[in-house]
């Protein structure tokens, strides 16, 4: 794993460049929906999108936001973290998550938190075994019809 670099994606074209990798995690989104949601989250929710490049290729992507809650205090919430299937188990996910942790510390934030889908057992092994994250809660969701 040499020649990798993490770059913040800010323009529409930069955001689009990460879509093929992000689509592996967020397969329900079209490219148009993805760009619209990322740009809105950047504008209203302190969302940051970063890509890990190996040479010229995007191999991993993360989206996160700064948050403040009574439980965690000031922290980073990782909304999205994905390594392309062609590049998994090469250390890119760990490198990108370490970047997020360093970013949080540099910005005076006390922790990094995330949720992972119940069925994503490989991700759970990564978080709990490889990068030493603690399982601290369950996340619950209730959806409403769009209208």
Question: Does a structural domain hold residue 142?
Answer: no
Question: Does a structural domain hold residue 146?
Answer: no
Q: What tens digit of pLDDT does each residue of 78-122 get?
A: 999 999 999 998 999 999 999 999 999 999 999 999 888 888 878
Question: Does a structural domain hold residue 61?
Answer: yes
Both structure tokens of 55: 């040479």
Residue 128 in 3-state DSSP? Answer: helix
Rounded to 5°, angle at Cα 49 from 45 and 52? 160
pLDDT in the model for residue 2? 56
Question: Does a structural domain hold residue 70?
Answer: yes
The residue segments making up the domain with residue 20 are 4-130
> pTM of the full predicted structure?
0.89
By C-alpha distance, which of 52, 109, 108 is closest to 80?
Answer: 52
Q: How many domains does the chain have?
A: 1
Residue 69, domain CATH: 3.40.630.30
């Amino acid at each position: 794993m040499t020649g990798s670099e993490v770059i913040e994606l800010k323009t529409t074209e930069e955001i689009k460049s990460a879509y093929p990798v992000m689509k592996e995690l967020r397969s329900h989104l079209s490219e148009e929906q993805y760009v619209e949601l990322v740009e809105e989250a950047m504008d209203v929710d302190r969302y940051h999108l970063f890509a890990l490049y190996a040479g010229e290729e995007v191999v991993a992507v993360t989206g996160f936001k700064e948050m403040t809650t009574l439980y965690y205090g000031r922290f980073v919430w990782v909304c999205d973290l994905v390594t392309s299937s062609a590049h998994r188990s090469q250390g890119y996910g760990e490198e990108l998550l370490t970047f997020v942790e360093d970013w949080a510390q540099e910005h005076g934030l006390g922790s990094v938190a995330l949720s992972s889908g119940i069925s994503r057992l490989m991700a759970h092994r990564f978080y709990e075994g490889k990068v030493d994250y603690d399982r601290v809660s369950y996340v619950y969701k209730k959806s409403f019809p769009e209208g």
